[in-house]
Structure 1
Amino acid sequence: MDVIEVRPRLLMLRFPVGQAYVWADGDDDLTLIDAGWAGAAPLIEEAVRSRGLRPEALRRIVLTHCHRDHVGAAGELSARYGAEVLAHPLDAPVVRGEAPVPDPVLLDWEVPLYAHGLTVPEAPPTRVDRQPVDGEELGFGDGARVVHTPGHTAGSIAVHLPHHGVLFTGDTVASVGRVGLGVFHVDREQARASMRRLAALAPETVCFGHGDPLTTGAAAALKAAVLTEAALT
């Protein structure tokens, strides 16, 4: 697993499929945004230690949605360190194993990609301690807030840190080859609307569920992606 410093206080942990992020509010208050694959807890712990931080300082795990490559290690890390697990109310039942993972409506070219994604280990049922809704403050990052972004899943969220100009998009937007709408949505039209909402935030740094973060020209890239998507419809 690669560990990349996106900017001070922000690390990206890159898995073979997808990635997670660590935000540090000092040495004793870490937030994990998404949790990678099931069984990846030791790798995440090692990554945190490699940057001089302590896994014991993990206070919360924010899940942008219920898919296996985002929920994976959340339960194990939470059990080990007492971190609070957060997920939107519409995805929380899936995270807990009480409801099935929603099937996406696939475009033809997405079918083989989706089959490849299923090679990621299934996430075990994971408890959810808090179910934040749109606009709710999350208790880190000097005012991080939830942005409900339905479309990829019903309960997909982005996390916006307006004080720092940072936006975590989850899988609504991706940066694989180019910045654009992500894949495997349950409702593509909703996902497009969610992407437009994220672009309106005009962030300085954008962190995606898949693909390289943007630390320069991020706002312009998001706006361009919205225009490109509109031209395709």
Structure 2
Amino acid sequence: MSDQIPLDPHDRVRDPAPRDHTREVAEDLAYRRLGIVNVAFHGRAGAGDRDWVLVDAGVSGTMGMITEAAAERFGPDARPAAIVLTHGHFDHVGALEDLVALWDVPVYAHALEMPYLDGSASYPLPDPGVGGLMARLSPLYPRSPVNVARHLQRLPEDGSVPGMPGWRWIHTPGHCPGHVSLWREEDRTIIAGDAFVTTNQESAYAVAVQKPEMHGPPQYLTTDWQASAASVETLARLEPEVAVTGHGPAMRGAEMRGALHTLARDFAQVAVPEGGRYVGDPAQAEDGSAYRSD
């Protein structure tokens, strides 16, 4: 699919002194791009041991880059208080098992993501027919679950986020059943995971250059388009000032908000692929039960 909703490159969140590609969004929030995906670090620079949180865990082979970035921001050997997952797709949990073993840290996720994090279920098949090189490669992407059952915990039912005071989690299914986004009302900052992204993740070129555009969730792994549309509407109503997404540069400001509203309004036309495995037919879990929780 061609560009969805172009974003002005000047609306990127810019850190005047990035630490080796780690970009600071607020005094207590930074993110780092690891190949095709971003991870986020919550906590002030120099916070120290057990006083920060990692959001998502990158692709396989990036543990060293994550620990290096953590050491640079929080101090040598500083371990997180928790790892919080927006969801369990391969590009968000690739280094998770190694990081858990290294840090002995609890992992928090939505209850509906538990089967994909405790070794008991694999995600539905990807959808290479949606178009784009990254989609054509999707049958090669890891689909088997990771297993961090001994450290795995459900996100609190009250909506709070462990280790992140002032934040709450919002269930934003569609891309996968237990996808969550993280929201802080005080400064209207959102960590959106893959509920929406800010580059065309189907295009290898856009991924390489991080061309900014407001884009629906990566199409090749999205399995319930109706739920995804509702999730984007939910996030647009929050009127975020800053958005950190799983793919693409962090963005801020009125034009970003306007693009998000346009995405929500025109989702069926601009985000849903013309053809594909799950268009009009949401995936089922491996046990045959409904993949989406109403």
Give the share of equivalent positions with the same residue, in percent.
Answer: 27
The more displaced of 119-128 and 57-66 is 119-128
| Alpha-carbon distance in 1 for matches of 2:235, 2:122 | 27
Return the match for 2:243 from 183, 206, 209: 206
Cα distance change of structure 1 residues 125 and 206 upon mapping to structure 2, 3 Å threshold = same
Shift in Å, 1:215: 2.5
Within 5 Å, give how 1:44-63 maps onto structure 2.
44-63=66-85
Amino acid at match of 1:225: L
Residue in 1 that maps onto 2:135:
114
**Within 1, Cα distance between the matches of 2:242 and 2:131?**
29
Q: CA deviation at 1:133?
A: 6.1
Moved more, 135-144 or 161-170: 135-144
Q: Partner residue of 2:95? A: 73
Cα deviation digits, residues 36-85 of structure 1 (max 9, x gap): 02232221111122235345231111111110110111222222222210
- Aligned 8 A contact 1:102 1:153 in 2: no
Of the candidates 155, 161, 166, which is equivalent to residue 143 of structure 1? 166
Q: TM-score, normalised by structure 1?
A: 0.88
Look up the equivalent residue of 1:156 and give its one-letter code: H
| TM-score after normalising by structure 2 | 0.71
| Cα drift, residue 180 of structure 1 | 2.3
Structure 2 unmatched ranges of 5 or more? 1-19, 200-211, 273-294
Q: How many residues align?
A: 232
What is the SS of the residue equivalent to 2:97? helix
CA displacement at 1:186 relative to structure 2 = 0.5
Structure 1: state its 5+ residue gaps.
none
Pick aligned residue for 2:262 from 217, 224, 229: 224
1:31 aligned partner: 53
Alpha-carbon spacing, 1:188–1:230, altered in 2? closer, same or farther (3 Å): closer
1:55 & 1:195 partners in 2: Cα distance?
A: 38
Matched to 2:42, the amino acid is W
Choose 1 or 2 for highest CA Rg: 2
Match of 2:189 among 166, 170, 177: 166
2:41 pairs with 1:22: yes
Higher RCO (CA-CA < 8 Å; seq separation 6+): 2
Name the CA distance, whole Å, in 1 between partners of 2:158 and 2:241.
Answer: 19
In angstroms, what is the RMSD of aligned CA positions?
2.5
> C-alpha separation between the residues in 1 aligned to 2:130 and 2:94?
27
Q: Which amino acid aligns with 2:245?
A: F
